Amino acid sequence: MTYRDAGVDIDTKMSAIASFRELARRTHSPSVLGDLGQFGGLFDVSRLRVRKPVLVGSIDGVGTKLKIAFLTGRHDTIGRDLVNHCVNDILVQGAVPLFFLDYLSTGKVRKETVVSIVSGITQACRDNGCALLGGETAEMPGFYAEGEYDLAGCIVGVVGRDAILDGSRIRPGDLLLGLRSSGLHTNGYSLARKVLLEKLRLKTTSVVPELGRSLGEELLEPHRSYLAVLKPLLPTGDLHGMAHITGGGFTDNVPRILPDGCAVEIDLGSWKIPPVFSLIQEAGGVSDTEMRRTFNLGIGMILVAPAEKAERIRRRLERSGERAAIIGAVVRGNRRVLFTGARH
């Protein structure tokens, strides 16, 4: 018997890797040493122009949003979700990305599918200015359902030691600025699928009037990266903290950056919640508490800034094309999120 008889086709895998090696090269800078396919990726940190550099690492996956890719047969956006999510996770600490590594595992390697996935990863790496330094494509017959795969990624970035954003400067009286999300991003999909696909029996091809497009297009909308709009703000020192609104929604993510003695009040009437969230809540009978802890509700990133600088930051973001709203304030309390105002 051969490995192929057992379900692992090394030739197909190596052909796929050869196809996206050129894609990865397009993300490389002079700091990348060597080529994709070595046992380890090499990155020359001596080129960094950062005072007291600190490396920041994060790892994540895409969750059950992958199920939507399987249903639609579209795989070119899921890699963008992965990279952008990871970029935002280190951005909140003031770090900019250096390099990225991915892990793709599937029951049977299909060259067209894996090249489509990696093309999304490399496009997002280029957009965010980080190198795809390496990765792993694992063929695991009998482990996944037909046509399914899992995807995860690791990012490493850098921030100057004196420029780390850890929330320690947050004080009562600071204001919260909310930056728009592009939809569900990569969180809450298990509940969204339960409501939209199982309870409402919608198809990914169903055109939903409230959304103005098909359900598949809405649910595959890529997770935003906030690096381009926020990078110019990092050197100013005007930001006291940032929170990426991912799994756990507002309830669990905002307290991660709050020092003792601080809580926040968020005015739910300060922005318009996108229709996809209202559709899920109404059709699923989902409570307000559950919605706030599961979804981003249209706000993908929260900035914390001193009151005297918040409006200036908002105007600066607006000039760059980013719509931002002041959505709340820091108050005295014990690392909690309080909600006021009526949704609209």
Asked if the structure places residue 170 within a domain, the reply is no
Does pTM top 0.85 for this prediction?
yes
What was the pLDDT predicted at 343? 66
What was the pLDDT predicted at 37? 76
Regarding whether 99 and 78 lie in a shared domain, the answer is yes
pLDDT digits (tens, 9 = 90+) for 320-343: 999 899 999 999 999 999 999 866
Last residue of a domain, one of 163, 194, 210: 163
Q: For 239, which DSSP code?
A: -
Give yes or no for residue 226 having a pLDDT over 70. yes
Give yes or no for residue 148 having a pLDDT over 80. yes
Asked if the structure places residue 80 within a domain, the reply is yes
In the chain, the number of structural domains is 2
For the record, the structure tokens of 50 come out as 């950062």
Model confidence band, residue 344 (pLDDT cutoffs 50, 70, 90): low
Mean pLDDT computed over 202-220:
96
CATH of the domain at 123: 3.30.1330.10
Regarding whether 56 and 142 lie in a shared domain, the answer is yes
Regarding whether 326 and 211 lie in a shared domain, the answer is yes
Element (H, E) at 267: strand 262-267
Regarding whether 196 and 84 lie in a shared domain, the answer is no
pLDDT digits (tens, 9 = 90+) for 232-267: 999 999 999 999 999 999 999 999 999 999 999 999
pLDDT digits (tens, 9 = 90+) for 259-314: 999 999 999 999 999 999 999 999 999 999 999 999 999 999 999 999 999 999 99
Give yes or no for residue 19 having a pLDDT over 90. no
Model confidence band, residue 90 (pLDDT cutoffs 50, 70, 90): very high
Regarding whether 68 and 207 lie in a shared domain, the answer is no
Give the span between the Cα atoms of 202 and 206, in whole angstroms. Answer: 6
What was the pLDDT predicted at 341? 80
CATH of the domain at 305: 3.90.650.10
Asked if the structure places residue 4 within a domain, the reply is no
Mean pLDDT computed over 95-115:
95
For the record, the structure tokens of 71 come out as 């249903």
For residue 39, give every residue at least 6 positions away whose Cβ sits within 8 Å of its Cβ, in sequence order, or none: none
pLDDT digits (tens, 9 = 90+) for 171-180: 999 999 999 9
Last residue of a domain, one of 138, 163, 188: 163
Model confidence band, residue 125 (pLDDT cutoffs 50, 70, 90): very high
Last residue of a domain, one of 163, 183, 207: 163
Regarding whether 144 and 205 lie in a shared domain, the answer is no
For the record, the structure tokens of 20 come out as 């996206």
CB 246 within 8 A of CB 205: no
Regarding whether 48 and 127 lie in a shared domain, the answer is yes
- Phi first, then psi: give them for residue 83, nearest 5 degrees: -65, -50
Regarding whether 212 and 98 lie in a shared domain, the answer is no
Model confidence band, residue 6 (pLDDT cutoffs 50, 70, 90): confident
Regarding whether 137 and 197 lie in a shared domain, the answer is no
Model confidence band, residue 98 (pLDDT cutoffs 50, 70, 90): very high
Asked if the structure places residue 3 within a domain, the reply is no
What was the pLDDT predicted at 273? 95
Regarding whether 188 and 152 lie in a shared domain, the answer is no
Regarding whether 323 and 203 lie in a shared domain, the answer is yes
For residue 246, give every residue at least 6 positions away whose Cβ sits within 8 Å of its Cβ, in sequence order, or none: 85, 88, 89, 185, 186, 187, 253, 296
Asked if the structure places residue 194 within a domain, the reply is yes
Number of helices (H), then strands (E), in the chain: 11, 14
Q: Read out DSSP for 145-206?
A: -TT-EEEEEEEEEEEEGGG---STT--TT-EEEEEE-SSSTTSSHHHHHIIIIIIS---TTP
What was the pLDDT predicted at 18? 81
Give yes or no for residue 11 having a pLDDT over 60. yes
For the record, the structure tokens of 287 come out as 């409570």
Q: For all residues of the chain together, what is the average pLDDT?
A: 94
What was the pLDDT predicted at 4? 80
Asked if the structure places residue 5 within a domain, the reply is no
Regarding whether 147 and 187 lie in a shared domain, the answer is no
> 223 lies in which domain range?
175-340
Asked if the structure places residue 148 within a domain, the reply is yes
